[in-house]
Amino acid sequence: MNAIFKNALAMTAVAMAAQASAQVTLFEQEGYQGESFTTSRTVDNLERRGFNDSASSVVVVGERWEVCEDQRFNGRCVVLRPGQYPSLNAMGLNNRVTSVRAVSRNARIAEQRYAPAPAPVIAAATPQISFYENEGLSGRSFTTGRQINNFNRFGFNDSASSAVVVGERWEVCEDVRFRGQCVVLRQGSYPSLRAMGLNNRISSVRMLDRNERIAERRYAPAPVAATAPVAAQITFYEQEGLNGRSFTTGREVNNFNRFGFNDRASSVVVVGERWEVCDDVQFRGQCVVLRQGSYPSLRAMGLNDRVSSVRMLDRNERIDERRYAPALIAAPVAGPNFRPQRDERLFEANVTSVRAVMGTPEQRCWVEPGQVAQGNQNVPGAIVGALLGGILGHQVGGGSGKDLATVGGVVAGAALGSQVNGGNPQGATPDVRRCENVPNQRPQYWDVTYNFRGQDHRVQMTTPPGQTVTVNAQGEPRK
């Protein structure tokens, strides 16, 4: 699971264009740590999602949510307002949540059913560090905002190959209790720990006090900027609509079994380059190429719960149009409500980049008449027939239909004309139908990045934006 992205989204309450505007995120540990499960839909039994009796903290975005200790909303239930709940202990639901559902905004709820008031959703993510099993910020991950003396307790000892640091500086060490070789990491992305001699060797980590002075030699090489997105990556979600457990990679994966995600993917988000996904290991079986964008369901392409391998395609590689998945959608399935809410304060956020995403190429076809054998006396008749057929055909239909009728008239006329002066010519070749893909000159949508209060956001728009995008206090787009 790509924990750093899930935590950042939850803590900043910023949903991508492909996510619903109301959602709840359950975390395995208190303080929003460990494995997490996010949904914007009713889940009447978390056991089916592998997260039953596992939640210790919660973040609620948008609407109110009801969480219950038994399936189908039985047993003890509590209503959570939007905000952060760093612990479920106070409400008696720690490691006991089994079902969740959004509460209608018009529903009246008795005050005694509400949980204690939550902490407000903060504008910036709290300090934390995420470790990834593979280089390039991919594979299994482990995120913490607290000191860890021994990674063995979390099943991640000597497993980290890359890291992302948010907020403060962190010291990582190769032995437990901060012994052995130690390196200090500033905020940013570290796609490889190899250069600092800590690849698959980290056993303990702790956050440093912001006022502590650190000798320059103790720092790791300068990181990639924390706001720089991964150049190209693909994220698979366990449920349709980009919900449930997820797995993110920026590298080729020839067998999903190794990452515990085989035959589990039901929806996908592609960033950057094109990716090929296959229903068998080693890129065998049925394979489909995905362009950049959101695919809220893999059902239409016959790959729901069937993906076993994935690889990024070279940007210069030519792909037959038949290999591509059906055209992606520019908006989410549920469609977040972009209309301003009552009494909602609006702001203007500066647009930082705009990319027009062109539609899929269009196929155009025509028929080339066959060649008549040399010496055949029917050539003049065929030419006359073709011209006559063209004239007759041009009088049928209108617009593109008229053009098609003209082509048909030419072919029919040529066949008729060939009968002049007697019979079918021997040695003539048949008519040939030819097709070509013509680039679509109209953008399908615009991929827009804007910055609000120091945070980058992305949205896909059906019309080109101006210099600013209207947003609410959480940075969500409004129109």
* Residue 396 shares a structural domain with residue 460: no
Task: Confirm whether 81 is domain-assigned.
Answer: yes
**Three-class SS string for 173-226?**
ECCHHHCCCEEEECCEEECCCCCCCCCCCCCEEEECCCCCCCCHHHECCCCECC
Q: Are 145 and 126 in contact (CB under 8 A)?
A: yes
Q: Are 122 and 84 in contact (CB under 8 A)?
A: yes
Query: Distance between CA 133 and CA 158 in Å, rounded?
Result: 9
* Residue 430 shares a structural domain with residue 475: no
Instruction: Check residue 287 and give its pLDDT.
Output: 93
* Residue 432 shares a structural domain with residue 450: no
Task: Confirm whether 2 is domain-assigned.
Answer: no
Domain boundary among 191, 218, 245: 218
Residue 387 belongs to what H/E stretch? helix 379-394
* Residue 452 shares a structural domain with residue 345: yes
Instruction: Check residue 171 and give its pLDDT.
Output: 95
* Residue 459 shares a structural domain with residue 353: yes
Q: Are 279 and 272 in contact (CB under 8 A)?
A: no
* Residue 385 shares a structural domain with residue 432: yes
Both tokens assigned to 469: 């995008």
Residue 449 belongs to what H/E stretch? strand 443-452
Task: Confirm whether 161 is domain-assigned.
Answer: yes
Label residue 179 by pLDDT band (50, 70, 90). Answer: very high
Task: Confirm whether 323 is domain-assigned.
Answer: no
Query: Distance between CA 348 and CA 467 in Å, rounded?
Result: 9
Q: What domain count does the chain have? A: 5
* Residue 389 shares a structural domain with residue 461: no
Tokens 């189908």 appear where?
Answer: 72
Residues 415-431 have a mean pLDDT of: 51
Strand 138-144 with 128-134, pairing: antiparallel
* Residue 470 shares a structural domain with residue 349: yes
pLDDT of 442 over the 60 cut = yes
Mean pLDDT is lowest, of 9-13, 47-51, 217-221, 329-333, for 329-333
* Residue 211 shares a structural domain with residue 281: no
* Residue 203 shares a structural domain with residue 133: yes
| Residue 156: CATH number of its domain | 2.60.20.10
Task: Confirm whether 479 is domain-assigned.
Answer: yes
| Residue 478: CATH number of its domain | 2.40.50
| Helix, strand, coil percentages for the chain (3-state, nearest 5) | 15, 35, 50
Mean pLDDT is lowest, of 50-54, 377-381, 391-395, for 391-395
Task: Confirm whether 13 is domain-assigned.
Answer: no
* Residue 374 shares a structural domain with residue 425: yes
Query: Distance between CA 222 and CA 190 in Å, rounded?
Result: 9
Task: Confirm whether 6 is domain-assigned.
Answer: no
* Residue 347 shares a structural domain with residue 476: yes
pTM: 0.29
Mean pLDDT is lowest, of 149-158, 240-249, 256-265, 331-340, for 331-340
Domain boundary among 54, 89, 113: 113
Task: Confirm whether 477 is domain-assigned.
Answer: yes
Domain boundary among 60, 90, 113: 113
**Which structural domain, as residue segments, surrounds residue 291?**
234-318
